[in-house]
Amino acid sequence: MNRIECARESEMLQAVAEGRWPDRCDPDLGAHVVECGICADLIEVAVSLSNDRETMVRDARVPGSGVVWWRAQMRIRQETLRASQRTVFFVQAAVLGAGLIVAFSVLGTMPVLPHDWLGPIGRLRDGIDLGAVARAIGWSAPLFLALAAWLALVPVAVHFALTDD
């Protein structure tokens, strides 16, 4: 039966990670790699990965502090712009919704009142048309409801606009 692990694997990996392989490691560790096929494969892969890591660290381009600061400032500005655009969007949506509510309540529910019975009374009072007053009272309820809905929706829209996601 073939072995799938060796007791000295961690010791091998530590030697490669610390840069001691193959020159500055124990001689018995080198002799073990010659005898153990598992550790030989492990060393081959670990050395290759270690060399790739060293190459990547050596070739890495770290930007200057001025560039990092500039990028951070640009990111802050973009986030602030997005937040203000969200606020404007929600306020516009609230105003549009309130306008639609008012328009539908005024135009869609214009009462057709049977005000013929108010006609004689309306002519009795110095030119005041009580039929018009009755129509105005009929319109006042939808207008009041539209105004109340608008006043209720604006704080909700402002809340959603000002909270962060």
pLDDT per position as a tens digit, 86-123: 888 888 888 888 877 777 666 655 554 444 444 444 44
State how far the Cα of 69 lies from the Cα of 91, in Å rounded to an integer: 33
Please tell me the pTM assigned to this model: 0.38
Query: Residue 69 domain-assigned?
Result: no
If asked whether residues 79 and 156 sit together in one domain, one would say yes
DSSP H helical ranges for the chain: 9-17, 27-35, 37-59, 65-108, 119-124, 130-162
For residues 118 and 130, is the Cβ–Cβ distance under 8 A? yes
Cis amide prior to 22 (ω within 30 degrees) = yes
Which of 12-26, 97-111, 129-143 is modeled with the greatest confidence?
Answer: 12-26
Read off the amino acid at residue 79: E
For residues 6 and 39, is the Cβ–Cβ distance under 8 A? yes
74: confidence class by pLDDT, cuts 50, 70, 90:
very high
If asked whether residues 92 and 50 sit together in one domain, one would say no
If asked whether residues 78 and 157 sit together in one domain, one would say yes
If asked whether residues 53 and 127 sit together in one domain, one would say no
Q: What angle do CA 129, 130, 132 make, to 5 degrees?
A: 70
Task: Out of 72-76, 97-101, 128-132, 150-154, pick the least confident.
Answer: 128-132
Query: Residue 108 domain-assigned?
Result: yes
Name which residue leads in pLDDT, 125 or 89: 89
If asked whether residues 26 and 78 sit together in one domain, one would say no
What is the residue-averaged pLDDT of the chain? Answer: 77
153: confidence class by pLDDT, cuts 50, 70, 90:
confident
Which of 53-57, 114-118, 157-161 is modeled with the greatest confidence?
Answer: 53-57
Query: Residue 29 domain-assigned?
Result: yes
What is the reported pLDDT for 124? 45
Domain of 139 in residue numbering reads as 74-162
State how far the Cα of 156 lies from the Cα of 98, in Å rounded to an integer: 13
Q: How many domains does the chain have?
A: 2
If asked whether residues 98 and 52 sit together in one domain, one would say no
If asked whether residues 79 and 16 sit together in one domain, one would say no
79: confidence class by pLDDT, cuts 50, 70, 90:
very high
